[in-house]
Amino acid sequence: MKPRVAVFDFASCEGCELQLFNLEEKFLDLIKIVDVVSFREGMKEHSDLYDIAVIDGSIMRPMDVERLKIIRKKAKTVVALGACACIGGVNKLRNQWTSENVRREVYGDANLEGNPLFDIFPARAVDEVVKVDYYVPGCPIDRAEFTKVITAVIMGREPRLPSYPVCVECKLRENQCVFELGMFCLGPITRAGCNAICPTHRKGCAGCRGFLEDANMDAFKDVLRKYKIPMDEWLKCFDMFNCKIKREK
Amino acid sequence: MKRNLNIHINHITRVEGHGSIVLNVKAGRIEKLQWNILEAPRFFEAILRGKHFNQLQSITSRICGICSIGHSLASLKATEAALGVEISEQTVLLRRLALHGENMQSHILHVGYLAAPDLFGADSIIPLLKNEHKAVINIVRIHRLANSMSDLICGRTTHPLRFCVGGFTLLPTLKELQSLREELLNGIDTLRNAAESIQAEVHHLPDFSRETEYIALTAENLYALYEGSVASTDTGIHPLSEYLSLTNEYLLPHSTAKFTRHNRESYMVGALARFNINATQLGSLAKEIAARFDLTSPNYNPFMNTIAQLVEIADSMEDSIAIIDELLARGLEEEQPEVKIRPGRGIGALEVPRGILFHDYTIDEQGNCSQASCIIPTNQNNANIQKDMEALVPTIMNRPQKEIELTLEMLVRAYDPCISCSTHYLNVEFT
């Protein structure tokens, strides 16, 4: 029997799910080796019996935690899809303010007390709520990497993500370093696997694939000193997908 | 018939984001009929506070994975207006091309992958793909063509990379544009064939009309997408600076997305609104597709929004070819946009696949954003979806429950709501 795959989404732009459709003709190949049994954005059919749950999005509310825990219980394998699910992504940017503060900024004085739809806590990645088995990082995900990870899971192999920085791929592509163009780039400390797509298009890496655990921070600081990047400017760019500040409530 | 219904479509499928429909009927009387948005709110306007103007486009692109190019362009337009940055004609042409790429991608995704299964009697595109249904093969081809356009102009299909304040970080080559032109020319027959297959099943769209107010950008010399003034079918043409008096956002407890109203209880934005306001400016291919479906302006059937999208795909293809011809004739030049920091407020408006989108930023002396507001097409359509449901349900109340459910789902789908944008979800409940 083919493995049964279900796709679920929480707080996200659903751009990573869109990448599944963007596989175009390859999506046809994918559905030859797996049965997609639930994928709300793309299909009405739904089944609660699945082996692999693919989760897009961050977790923002108690009602979402309940839903996620049920999914975890039903699935043998959980795959986090994209930056929002893997590391919290742009959703964590709001964690530097209290929930009350951001609610007021967006919804004004409306009385939302006790309304579960608006009952938020600081944004969390999926693995801050349930165990995640495998990750497909990126904002958005790289379609080829998704196929690789899913194929490995189906074949019973451990999917491996690169453990070297984006700089390695960037050098292989013989790109001009974007620091030379006066830009800020997180390529030296960010996990590779995107084929250095941002610097290739003359944008600094924003760190959407998350930082390497053993990133060489000293060497990175040397680069920043060399190019005289002001601290406050790079701190802001550092934040976009990897905001570590968290205010409770 | 004095019937009881209790319908709860929770998490309506084949739409972007999480919404639900609740319908309770007791002894033939509607007790509750509600369009709910359950998406987890993401607070983009709060997130933008304090961010440098150079970052606003990359962050707001993440509001929506389907219309990230539209959000990016609205963001750049607002930022450029606030800072007083002038952009070149070349940049406008390339941005219009990017917007056409997204319009085609998003529309064919909706027409083909999300709405068409209802016409072909399938629950999703997957069984149609497995049978290699002819229409679906053509749909996938158009989808790929649209995506290759975004790849070329923006660096990738979702979350554009080559955009920056004042212009582009990198340009396509003339050779690449030439080959895109060939692909677009070849795509025209693919689109005609897809339209033919859909036309054969279009009688499945409910025959329902409710006249409402339609709002879209309008311009003198072209079918407005990238720029124009705001036009309402009720109140005429308004300058962009008056946009807040047109949108009037408000909040309802059952929805994390805001609602809007203008001259009456609700208004509609999107492909059908644009068609109703600007149809005479469509190109010949678009007019040919519209004629195939007997779509004439004004049309008050919201289900025809899907067909208006198909017409717009044709127009985007044709206008893209014209833009490429112009770029090929004038050549491409590397530009160094000049951007200076100055405090100010700027409004950026444009037509994205689902309707008119506004970004409004205030930028301070350091070049940081001090206030941001984004008014999104789906929010503007929410009240109109509700009013359509209220008019539609009494006309179908005696039909089998399954049919009522499907018709309500199809109505919501016709609007192609982008619930992530508006905040995310759709449920329908029947008793």
A159 touches chain B (CB under 8 A): no
**Chain A residues 108-127 with CB within 8 Å of chain B:** 108, 110, 112, 115, 117-118, 120
> pLDDT tens digit string along A185-219?
999 999 999 999 999 999 999 999 999 999 998 99
Chain A partners of B19 at a C-beta cutoff of 8 Å?
none
Is B228 in contact with B218 (CB distance < 8 Å)?
yes
Is B39 in contact with B16 (CB distance < 8 Å)?
no
Q: What is the nearest CA distance from A159 to chain B, expressed in angstroms?
A: 24
Max distance between CA atoms of chain A, in angstroms, equals 58
> pLDDT tens digit string along B202-246?
999 999 999 999 999 999 999 999 999 999 999 999 999 999 988
Tell me the residue length of chain A. Answer: 249
> pLDDT tens digit string along A107-164?
887 777 788 888 889 999 999 999 999 999 999 999 999 999 999 999 999 999 999 9
Pairing verdict, β B5-10 and B19-26:
antiparallel
pLDDT(B429) > 70: no
The rounded distance, in Å, linking the Cα atoms of A245 and B238 is 43
DSSP 8-state assignment for residue A190: B
- Mean pLDDT in residue range A7-18: 94
Chain B partners of A140 at a C-beta cutoff of 8 Å?
65, 156, 158-159
**Which residue stretches of B211-345 are H helix?**
243-247, 271-278, 284-292, 305-330
pLDDT(B168) > 90: yes
The percent of residues in chain B predicted with pLDDT above 70, rounded, is: 97
Return the pLDDT at A185: 94
> pLDDT tens digit string along A60-84?
999 999 999 999 999 999 999 999 9
Measured CA distances, B205 to A220, B304, B386 (Å): 59, 8, 19
Q: What is the nearest CA distance from B297 to chain A, expressed in angstroms?
A: 31
Identify the residue among A13, A170, A185 best suited for mutation to test binding to B, counting B beta carbons within 10 A and taking the highest. A13
Return the pLDDT at A248: 65
Instruction: Give residue limits of the domains in chain B.
Output: 44-422
Beta strands in chain A (DSSP E): 4-9, 35-39, 52-56, 77-81, 134-136
Of A12, A197, A240, the CB nearest to B58: A240
Better-predicted residue by pLDDT, B266 or A115: B266
One-letter amino acid identity for A193?
Answer: G
The rounded distance, in Å, linking the Cα atoms of B142 and B376 is 26
> pLDDT tens digit string along B376-390?
998 899 999 999 999
- Mean pLDDT in residue range A26-32: 86
How many CA atoms are closer than 13 Å to the CA of B109, on its beta-carbon side?
Answer: 31
Better-predicted residue by pLDDT, A108 or B367: B367
User: What does the mean pLDDT of chain B come to?
Assistant: 93
* Nearest Cα to Cα of residue A205 among B37, B276, B323, B161: B161
* Nearest Cα to Cα of residue B370 among B41, B56, B43, B42: B56
CB atoms within 10 A of CB B88: 14
Q: What is the nearest CA distance from A158 to chain B, expressed in angstroms?
A: 28
The rounded distance, in Å, linking the Cα atoms of B225 and B357 is 10
Return the pLDDT at B431: 31
DSSP 8-state assignment for residue B55: G
**Does B45 sit within 8 Å of A105, measured CB to CB?**
yes
Point out the least confidently predicted range of A31-35, A110-114, B326-330: A110-114
The rounded distance, in Å, linking the Cα atoms of B51 and B71 is 17
Phi-psi region of B155 (alpha: psi -120 to 50; beta: other; left: phi over 0): left
**Does A25 sit within 8 Å of B161, measured CB to CB?**
no
A-B contacts at Cβ under 8 angstroms: 174
CB atoms within 10 A of CB B48: 24
Local confidence band at B421 (pLDDT 50, 70, 90 cut-offs): low
Which 3 state secondary structure label does DSSP give B241? helix
The rounded distance, in Å, linking the Cα atoms of B233 and B272 is 12
> pLDDT tens digit string along A159-176?
999 999 999 999 999 999
Return the pLDDT at B257: 75
Return the pLDDT at B335: 94
Return the pLDDT at A84: 98
| Architecture of the CATH domain B44-422 | Orthogonal Bundle (1.10)
> pLDDT tens digit string along B51-69?
999 999 999 999 999 999 9
Count helices and strands (H / E) in chain B: 15, 15
Closest-CA residue of A relative to B258 is A107
Beta strands in B78-169 (DSSP E): 163-164, 167-168
Chain A partners of B253 at a C-beta cutoff of 8 Å?
112, 115
Cα-based torsion angle of the residue sequence B379, B385, B387, B392 in order, rounded to the nearest 10 degrees:
180
Return the pLDDT at B76: 98
The rounded distance, in Å, linking the Cα atoms of A136 and A89 is 13
Let me know if B77 is exposed, middle or buried by CB neighbors in 10 A (0-12, 13-18, 19+).
buried
Return the pLDDT at B255: 76
- Mean pLDDT in residue range B341-349: 97
Return the pLDDT at B22: 94
- Mean pLDDT in residue range A21-29: 85
A132's CB contacts (< 8 A; 6+ apart) are A55, A78, A79, A80, A85, A86, A126
Chain B partners of A233 at a C-beta cutoff of 8 Å?
52
Q: What's the token pair of residue B419?
A: 């619930």
Let me know if B63 is exposed, middle or buried by CB neighbors in 10 A (0-12, 13-18, 19+).
buried
Return the pLDDT at B430: 34
